Chain A
Amino acid sequence: MLKQYPTARFILMRAGWYFVTFLVAVTINFYLPRLGPNNPVDIIMAQAGSGTSREDMRIKEEMYLMEFGLVKMKASRDAGGRAVKEMVRDAEGKPVRASNFEQFITYLGMCLKGDLGTSFYKQSKKVTDVIKEAVPWTIALQLPTILFGWIVGNLLGALAAYRRGVFDKVFFPVALGLSSFPFFVFGMLLVAFFALTLGWFPPMGGYDNAIPGFNWPFLSSAAHHYVLPFFSIFLILAGGQAIGMRSMGIYELGTDYIKYAKWLGLRETTVLLYLFRNAMLPQITGLALSLGTMIGGALITEMIFSYPGLGMAMLDAVTKNDYPVIQGVTLIITVSVLIANFTVDILIAFLDPRVKAGVQMGKGL
């Protein structure tokens, strides 16, 4: 039945593939930290074991065990007859620990419900809350930066490939030099020069002395703090894209169809359009592939600027061994990258007639 709708089938199969990848990612996310010598459970228990009296310690310990899903639970009824979950105890009344696998199932269940657990460090603060506070900052910084960086970089690269000459001779080394910097290293340089020496922009933070919300003091302060982090990422990203696009452009310029377009006497703008439209396709694919690394670099840049996004959340969590937050953030990052890749896959299938034709014929997995 589905064979009659090759497009739908293609989308479904890609979605299926990404879901499988997601499951693998969640599994890795859960198990990896537990494999080494320094696993989260011990940390939890070490923290739990701090109390005044034995009884205190026991209560605390059991609380932690339940909270972090480390103990087997069974369904039962409480005094009022309502359904509750109760700890399974052994012959001596000690709680029975859940195996790693059981913990994983609990974790999976929680994930799919959208609950990523509770932070170790900030007691009684849910991981999802921590993430919710940080994500808007990260998205506000990274989304425009990556989008504009990609667009501007590719446009400049195409121009350099077409014009060559003086523009190219100046532009190419500059772009090349820029593109080899890691984002955060460049960020440090920008801070050193523009923030510390010239004092034009603040060296860190997301905003100063203002109450978050749609009010002018906040927005203007946030904008002021936005500039340096933005350019740390944007300039380098654009440079890298320009280099890649320039190579693609040079390659496409030698193709038969461009030569023919010129022979036909097509307008220069038309020829440039042909060039761009074709050279851009591998660039989109390239973007998807490097998205993971890009986001990683951008997050570290956030750390340099103490920008209140996911980067800082991660940094804090690592410093304080706050495992649920670490795992939560890595999971969110992974999911975002997966979604982005999925989107690009579908986008390419629609933009490139050659891939579209393959999809129509039932290929494309």
Chain B
Amino acid sequence: MKLLKNLLKSPMFVIGMSLFLVTILIAIFGPLFYAINTDRVGVPYDMPNAQFWLGLDNYGRDYVSLLIRGLGSSLYVGVIAGVIATTIGTLIGLYGGFKGGLADDILSVLTNLFVVIPQFVILILISTTFEKRSLALVAMIIGFTAWTWSARGVRAQAAALKSKDHISLARLNGDNTLKVLVVHILPYILSYVFMVFILQVSSGILSEAAISMIGLGPTGDNAISLGVILNDANRYGGLSDKNWHAFIPATCVISALVFALYLINTSMEGVFNPRLRK
């Protein structure tokens, strides 16, 4: 709790968190205030006007609706991917870091392999095999390829904690590995894991945008994410025809989102490592 108080003192954290919460609120409650309509309603690339504040896209759909939907989808993918990646990474890192020995060596080799082999390469390769990709599928693919960073970080933390006294005491008491892990180590690294989670969510949102830009993002009429919006803008002449409304709003939204998460992460780092403060 002292942690929370310290965090709230940091302006970066407050700004970041507020921004992030605003985006979540828009995504969840937006539809209540604005009639979302993602069907064609007019002329492609109609400029912003009183009726459609941000104009229409290349299919003639309302950008405001698309953006609110897109925000929600991107958040969805980001969070699910984040949860998957953090869970896998934490489990592997905890077990390897704590157990040490052969288990650790094997897991480390595995982790290092996938740190070096670029994540997005694997992303591309897996995504090409699925012709139809739902948001959930995209989220899963991202989550299952993004865990290596978390594994490394958690492993380092677990290994450092292993040699602390109260852990040795617990082991002497005969507590088995699982109990020691959950009861003694997890509480300590919880704040670290949370920081990792924020990073994973942010990276998940970006990965989705990136993979959509290659054309391997979510498919289907209802799969509208920020990445898909950007991709459509890029593909269908949004950039070269002075249709700024095609990509500026989406760009701003995704930047704001990523920036917010990044602020949260940096401020957390600052709180954990006091020397960086000031």
Contact = CB atoms under 8 A, between A and B. Distances in A.
- Chain A CB within 10 Å, residue with most, of B233, B254, B259: B259
A40 to B, nearest CB: 8
A28 B254 contact: no
A180 B262 contact: yes
Nearest to A176: B266
A32 B240 contact: no
Interface residues of A, number: 58
Contacts of A341: 116
A177 B266 CA distance: 12
Interface in B205-251: 206, 209-210, 213-216, 230, 233-234, 239-240, 242, 244, 247-248, 251
A197 B239 CA distance: 11
Contacts of B26: none
B242 A24 contact: no
Nearest to B231: A303
Interface string B246-269: 011001001100110011001000
A289 B114 CA distance: 11
A334 B121 contact: yes
A32 B116 contact: no
Given A36-B129, A36-B130, A250-B275, A330 B124 contact: yes
A362 interface: no
B122 interface: yes
Given A32-B122, A247-B276, A337 B131 contact: no
A175 to B, nearest CB: 11
B240 A196 contact: yes
B126 interface: yes
Given A21-B116, A35-B129, A196 B214 contact: no
A179 B118 CA distance: 20
B131 A38 contact: yes
Nearest to A291: B118
Contact of A326 (B118, B128, B206): B128
A185 B214 contact: no
A293 interface: yes
Contacts of A292: 116-121
A164 to B, nearest CB: 9
Nearest to B152: A289
Interface stretch (A99-107, A213-221, A311-319): A311-319
Interface in A296-339: 296-297, 300, 303-304, 314-315, 318-319, 321, 323, 326-327, 330, 333-334, 337-338
- Chain A CB within 10 Å, residue with most, of B126, B128, B129, B210: B128
B275 A303 contact: no
B128 A38 contact: yes
19 contacts: A25-B117, A29-B121, A32-B122, A35-B129, A38-B129, A38-B131, A180-B255, A180-B258, A181-B255, A188-B230, A188-B233, A189-B248, A196-B244, A203-B240, A250-B275, A292-B117, A293-B120, A296-B210, A300-B214
